[in-house]
Amino acid sequence: MFRLTETEKEQALSKILPKLRRKGRCIVWTGRRTTHGYGSIRFRGRENVRVTRLVWASKKGPIPQGRFVCHRCDNPPCTRIGHLFLGTNRDNQLDARVKGRTWRAIGEKARHAKLTADAVRDIRVRLANGEQAPKIAASLGRGRQTIYDIRRGDSWKYVAESYF
């Protein structure tokens, strides 16, 4: 658990605020950065701490063990609280893949994709209504295994269910 006392919150913000600048919709850290572009400062006299962790802990509260401060805006130096969210390493990796920021894109962004997210939602509705996978596959010109994988959640798992 990464937690700050009230005194530490004040100290952190007094070090951070002077080095923030608005850039488009983001509020970016202009101080020292890691090799990947994330803001970093010495804190508690010895630790190099990511600025986003200090901002989150100061404004939103403790960060549970195993959680990361992730960016909705995909801008590593951004500290705007509305652009940040807590997630696991897996959440962060899936977010990157869905947005096509990794070498292995998923869903519609994968160059070999034959379906869309809307088509997957439609397949799920058809399965829920009792339609057989081979019939769905034939109607879409896809293999039965594709439909079985969608039904089991082995593929297209990031696509949220659609409820009308």
Position 23 scores a pLDDT of: 95
Range of the domain at 132: 111-152
**What φ, ψ does residue 143 adopt, rounded to 5°?**
-80, 155
Q: Give the tens place of pLDDT for each residue, 9-56.
A: 999 999 999 999 999 999 999 999 998 899 999 998 877 899 999 999
Of 54, 77, 98, which closes a domain? 98
Is the sign of the CA dihedral 28, 29, 32, 34 positive or negative? negative
What is the distance between the alpha carbons of residues 5 and 37, in angstroms, rounded to a whole number? Answer: 27
Q: Are residues 15 and 5 in contact, defined by beta-carbon separation less than 8 angstroms?
A: no
How many domains does the chain fold into? 2
| Contact assessment for residue 84 and residue 56, using Cβ atoms and an 8 Å cutoff | yes
pLDDT in tens, 49-83: 999 999 999 999 999 999 999 999 989 999 999 99
* pTM (global) more than 0.85: no
Q: Is residue 67 located within the same domain as residue 125?
A: no
Whether 103 maps to a domain, the answer reads no
- Any idea what the CATH number is for the domain that residue 51 is in? 3.90.75
Same domain, 34 and 94: yes
**50 DSSP β-pair partners:** 40
E-assigned strands of the chain? 20-23, 26-29, 40-43, 47-50, 68-71, 84-87
Domain identity same for 87 and 120: no
